[in-house]
Amino acid sequence: MHRFLEHTADAFLEAKARTFSAAVKDAVEGTFELIGKGKEEDAEFEIHASADELPRLILKILETLVVECELKKISPVRVEILEADEKKKSIRVKIYGEKKPPKNIIKAVTYHMLEVKREKSYWIIRVLFDI
């Protein structure tokens, strides 16, 4: 599950799920909504990120997603999580999308208010996008 939280400017995304992998998937799918989802799956690409801490890992995978969609002119449709390991701090995903430029431009995925935490039986990812 993901939702957008109130914020005075930009877009503040919260993804919440029982596993780290599912929370990553929800965060990526929330990012799709900001970019502008495509309809058909006629293009695909993989992205990988690793980092020394979980917040930086989430930032890197979402930044790479945004940049690759813009550079490759792909509107994302679906994500397949190939690896999302919170212990190794590594994520690898496959993005399926439509060969058309994204509808919206995301200026940045920011460190401001960035959170990745385990709370009771849920993983929570919060990230602020400059749009």
Tokens 């060969």 correspond to what residue?
Answer: 99
**Phi/psi of residue 32, each to 5°?**
-55, -45
CA nearest neighbour of 21 among 99, 113, 116, 115: 116
Task: Just give the CATH number of 2-130.
Answer: 3.55.10.10
Instruction: Over range 12-23, report the average pLDDT.
Output: 97
- pLDDT higher than 90, residue 1: no
pTM for this structure?
0.91
The full DSSP string for 12-72 is: EEEEEESSHHHHHHHHHHHHHHHH---S---EEEEEEEE-SSHHHHHHHHHHHHHHHHHHH
Find the mean pLDDT for residues 101-124.
94
pLDDT single digits (tens) 20-74: 999 999 999 999 999 999 999 999 999 999 999 999 999 999 999 999 999 999 9
The full set of domain ranges for the chain reads 2-130
